[in-house]
Amino acid sequence: MKAIIDCNSFYAACERLFKPSLLGKPVVVLSNNDGCIVSRTDEAKALGIKMAGPYYEAKEILKQHQVAVFSSNYHLYGDISWRVMETLRRLCQDVEVYSVDEAFVDLEGIPVEEMWAFGLHLRNTVEQWTGIPVSVGIAPSKTLAKVANHIAKKNKVATQCTVALLTPEQIRHALENTPVGELWGVGSRSTEKLRYLGIDTGWKLRNMSREWAQKNLGGVVGVRLIRELNGEPCIDMKDPLEKKKMIATTRMFGKPVYTLPELKEAVATYTARAAEKLRRQFCAARVISVFVVTNDTGGAYNYDPRSRGTYTTLPMASSLSHVLIAHAMPLIEQLYREGSKYLKAGVMLSGIVPDNAIQCNLFEDPAGRHLHELMKAVDNVNFSMRNDMVKFAASGTRRNWKMRQEMRSKRFTTRWEELYEVK
């Protein structure tokens, strides 16, 4: 049996955690640069506030109903997420962190008749220890557990935020009432195709043959989905420490950028962050790519973003920030066009290999070990002190291009100077 634990309106719940006066009131959280609404409480949903809707379009209804609005506070959300996952690891042996607010757990060894009670125990314990409300879905496979969790979130009071699909009758009833488009792994195009073929519920899809899925639903992926809907676990629990094959750092600018020095500062900053992620998994990269997004259409309300990028291959794989920055700077110089309006930039590292298995060049002196120790020291200082306490000069000091967060709450759990005050 598998279970998925999903935090309810996670970003908004984190904001409520340190503001008890917001309990029972509508709360929304905005995306990068305060652009769109990415998290809503149930009270905000009841007002008709759309998910992913532009903030400027919702300003009137937000003001009318006195909705609490916050900019994204990723330091706070990341720390609270870690606390939720650590709580789950204390209660379960096998935990797979699926996203910042979701985790799968393996319930092997728990009697079937105790499944629902254990799920409720998980839900109550996480909320008691962290203050974050969660919903729990339990079923024989990950896909069915997602269905169970969806039901739990839609009917919080009736289900106590915990649903277990343990019998064929329970699974059938759940799938008959689940639109095919709400199934995990079924995208919008597949939904349109399936509805055209007369398959509009999870139950109808579950009863299709594997041969049909092989032909009409993406081959192996479709067959796996059918098997999962039939209660056959095909998606294994993954190792949370699995090494990434590509690392990227991208951001929208807080305001449009026009000059090359500002672009170079941003790309140097993103390269250093990507290098830090690379070192965290003890790897090095052979290829570095840089891209920019521009909007050169005339008029204040014309929006036609265009993206372009380029890359280079390093003579020898590296995880040293200054080496990667040195290769990134010529790339951004190639991409820069005077007079263009830059909205976003990003850096991607690929060709990733373990840092203890780097193919050296006979004609190049390998970087001294002291440089790796230096990077380790820099990472330790920045992790403990935050705010890029130690950074390369190429990253700049003013950073006027940084992401806009005009309504961000305090980082209560990760900054000494922003600790929550009890009076």
pLDDT tier for residue 300 given thresholds of 50, 70 and 90 = low
* pLDDT given for residue 365 in this prediction: 61
Q: Within a domain: residue 354?
A: yes
What is the rounded CA–CA span in Å between residue 248 and residue 267? 12
Q: Is residue 271 part of a domain?
A: yes
pLDDT at residue 268 greater than cutoff 90? yes
| In the predicted structure, residue 361 carries a pLDDT above the cut 70 | no
Q: Is residue 312 part of a domain?
A: yes
Asked whether the predicted pLDDT for residue 411 surpasses 70, the reply is yes
Residue 386: give its domain's CATH number.
3.30.1490.100
Q: What is the pLDDT of residues 117-171, one digit of tens each?
A: 999 999 999 999 999 999 999 999 999 999 999 999 999 999 999 999 999 999 9
What share of the chain in percent tops pLDDT 90? 55
Q: Look at residue 38 in the predicted model and tell me its pLDDT.
A: 92
Q: What is the number of structural domains in the chain? A: 1
pTM of the model: 0.81
Per-residue pLDDT, averaged over 312-340, amounts to: 92
pLDDT in the model for residue 402: 73
262 within some domain? yes
Asked whether residue 67 is domain-assigned, the answer is no
User: Which class for 393: exposed (0-12), middle (13-18), buried (19 or more C-beta within 10 A)?
Assistant: exposed
Tokens of residue 148, six digits: 């169970």
Cα separation, 374 vs 279, whole angstroms: 12
Lowest mean pLDDT among 97-106, 239-248, 307-316: 239-248
Q: Report the pLDDT value the prediction gives residue 124, as an integer from 0 to 100.
A: 95
Say which range, 36-40, 102-106, 385-389, has the weakest mean pLDDT: 385-389
Asked if residue 64 has pLDDT above 60, the reply is: yes
Average pLDDT over residues 251-262: 88
Distance CA 161, CA 154 (A): 9
pLDDT at res. 239: 62
pLDDT at 241 over 60: no
Say if CB 291 and CB 346 are below 8 A apart: yes
Residue, of 133 and 304, whose pLDDT is higher: 133
| Integer Cα distance of 152 and 147 in angstroms | 9
C-alpha dihedral, 415 to 416 to 422 to 423, nearest 10°? -130
- Residue 274, Ramachandran bin (φ over 0: left; ψ between -120 and 50: alpha; else beta): alpha
Q: How many CB atoms lie within 10 A of CB 209?
A: 10
Average pLDDT along the chain: 88
Better-scored residue on pLDDT, 362 or 5: 5
65 lies in some domain: no
CA 341 to CA 338: how far, in whole Å? 9
Average pLDDT over residues 309-326: 92
- List, for residues 158-204, the tens digit of each pLDDT value: 999 999 999 999 999 999 999 999 999 888 888 999 999 899 999 99
On the question of pLDDT at 224 being above 80, the answer is yes
- H/E stretch holding 10 reads helix 10-17
Higher pLDDT, 106 or 418: 106
Residue 328 lies in a domain: yes
* Sequence-separated (6 or more) residues with CB below 8 Å from residue 381: 389, 390
pLDDT score at 388: 75
Q: What percent of the chain has pLDDT over 70?
A: 94
Interval 37-62 mean pLDDT: 91
Domain of 275 in residue numbering reads as: 247-395
Residue 281 domain-assigned (yes or no) = yes
Q: What is the mean pLDDT of residues 41-46?
A: 93
